[in-house]
Amino acid sequence: MDSFVDSNNIDIEPTKITHTLVTDADENVIVSNNNILLYDNTTQTCYYTPMSTHILKEFNLEGTVETEKVDNVINKNGEKIWTKENTLLLIETVQKYDKIFSDGIKKNAWEKVAQECQKVNISLNKKQCETKWKTLKRTYKNILLHNNTSGNAKKNWEYFDVLHNYLFQKPEISPPATASSISGVTINKENVLPSVSGTLESSFCKKRKQKVSETEKRHAEKLKRYDRFNDLFEKMVEKM
């Protein structure tokens, strides 16, 4: 029968060959206090091991764990990777290479971000930087949506302001308008002054009416030509 053992008594570093991830009925990895539950294939025992960068990489878990779990990932020395200082450095560096992220290949951009972090003796790879950034951005979006929803108590987050200054004007966060296959244009009224929104809608309506009027005019002219053709045809038949 399988049993639990103390991870402190485990000498071998877990790998996909020697160990198996333990999952629940929904196939979610079992995590407790930032420790992952593993099954030792040799001893047939289970034990919790710290969620280190080695474990995340070895078992392909990078980018799949939740926000608080990403925040508490440790390096091989048992040190927390994403301290406040390192997180702020990441945000600053991503802003620095904004143009590359916008115009270039994101893979190359994350390589540059990781290299920049390594210059100040922070051992981070591009995958760790990308995963952390996605987590930060997702948390920012969730808090922004929460705080903009009427009736909700305001949520505070230590990285919200610095991220807001950078992300708020991004199209993915605050799109000026979205295309609609039904109505032609849908105006996004969020973050737009009432007077501006009204002007946009008024301008659109005028153009829409003008377009309809021109279409009706062309249709009327076409019918008129068709009637003339019928009259001529009838006269020709009468003369035959």
C-alpha 107/C-alpha 129 separation (Å) is 11
DSSP of the chain, one letter per residue? Answer: --EE--GGG--SPP-TTTEEE-B-TT-PBPEETTEEEEEETTTTEEEEEE-BHHHHHHTT-TTTS-HHHHHT-B-TTS-BS--HHHHHHHHHHHHHTHHHHHHS-HHHHHHHHHHHHHTTT----HHHHHHHHHHHHHHHHHHHHHHTSTTPPPP--TTHHHHHHHHTTSTTTS-SEEEETTTEEEE--TTS-HHHHHHHHHHHHHHHHHHHHHHHHHHHHHHHHHHHHHHHHHHHHHH-
Phi, psi (5° rounding) for residue 77? -90, 5
pLDDT of residue 64: 52
pLDDT of residue 1: 41
pLDDT of residue 127: 84
Residue 183 pLDDT grade (very low, low, confident, very high; cuts 50, 70, 90): very low
pLDDT of residue 159: 93
pLDDT of residue 196: 45
Out of 174-178, 181-185, 219-223, give the one with best mean pLDDT: 219-223
The partner residues of 40 in beta bridges, in order of sequence, read 19, 45
C-alpha 32/C-alpha 141 separation (Å) is 26
Residue 198 pLDDT grade (very low, low, confident, very high; cuts 50, 70, 90): low
Average pLDDT of the chain, as a whole number: 73
Q: Which residue has the higher pLDDT, 207 or 2?
A: 207
Q: Domain map of the chain by residue range?
A: 1-65, 82-174, 185-239
Position 178 pLDDT exceeds 70: no
Mean pLDDT of 28-47: 81
pLDDT tens for 42-87 read: 888 888 888 777 887 788 776 555 544 555 555 555 667 788 898 9
